[in-house]
A and B are shown apart, each in its own frame.
Chain A
Amino acid sequence: AQSVTQPDIHITVSEGASLELRCNYSYGATPYLFWYVQSPGQGLQLLLKYFSGDTLVQGIKGFEAEFKRSQSSFNLRKPSVHWSDAAEYFCAVPSGSQGNLIFGKGTKLSVKP
């Protein structure tokens, strides 16, 4: 069965520092992969998605993610974090037959001034 693991529950970084959020997946075939961001009390916003092709995917707000099949990973990165990036981040894969997404439990990002 498909699954997603986000090993880090909470990460704190200083403003201006680089960021990497980890995501590992279990999927039977070449997966579609998604990263979403959620501000407190809000819905989820799509940051980026990987369907096929180039393994380095660019998204909104300066984020990027790299698909590594050998490591079953799809880590999210940003070179320089801004205070407004403080939020919760979710990695997701499609379930397959139901059409819904299977989400990791999320990583909460805090940004120190």
Chain B
Amino acid sequence: DGGITQSPKYLFRKEGQNVTLSCEQNLNHDAMYWYRQDPGQGLRLIYYSQIVNDFQKGDIAEGYSVSREKKESFPLTVTSAQKNPTAFYLCATGQGLQETQYFGPGTRLLVL
């Protein structure tokens, strides 16, 4: 069954804690992206990776980190430096520049 999986569906973060959001794909797409969605704000790019072992900061990378050790996986860590992490996080994949992007089901992060 092809697609993009994100886990967990809901995640709770305590003050000062780092948390990691998982994104896995079996579409064999080279590019992967992390977006943050806040109500009324659309989607904003956090990090992206066009190829394994390489990734770039997006528009709102502060307080986040990523890795891309495997083509299938692009985990996002929300660090304690991110002071307002409550949001819906969406992972996407694509074949390259200007191509269609495919989205996972999302992870909602809440702060305790």
Contact residues of A with B, CB < 8 Å? Answer: 9, 32, 34, 36, 41-46, 49, 90, 94-101, 103-106
Interface size class, chain B: 20 to 34
Total A-B residue contacts, Cβ distance less than 8 Å: 59
Q: Is the interface of A mostly helix, strand, loop or mixed?
A: loop
- Decide if B58 is an interface residue (CB 8 Å cutoff): yes
* B94 CB-CB contact with A under 8 Å: yes
B100 partner, pick from A41, A42, A49, beta carbons under 8 A: A49
- Residues of the A chain whose Cβ atoms lie less than 8 Å from the Cβ of B105: 42-43
The CA of A34 and the CA of B40, in the complex, are separated in Å by: 19
Interface presence of B45 (CB below 8 A) = yes
Q: Do A44 and B31 touch (CB < 8 A)?
A: no
* B98 adjacent to A103 (CB under 8 Å): no
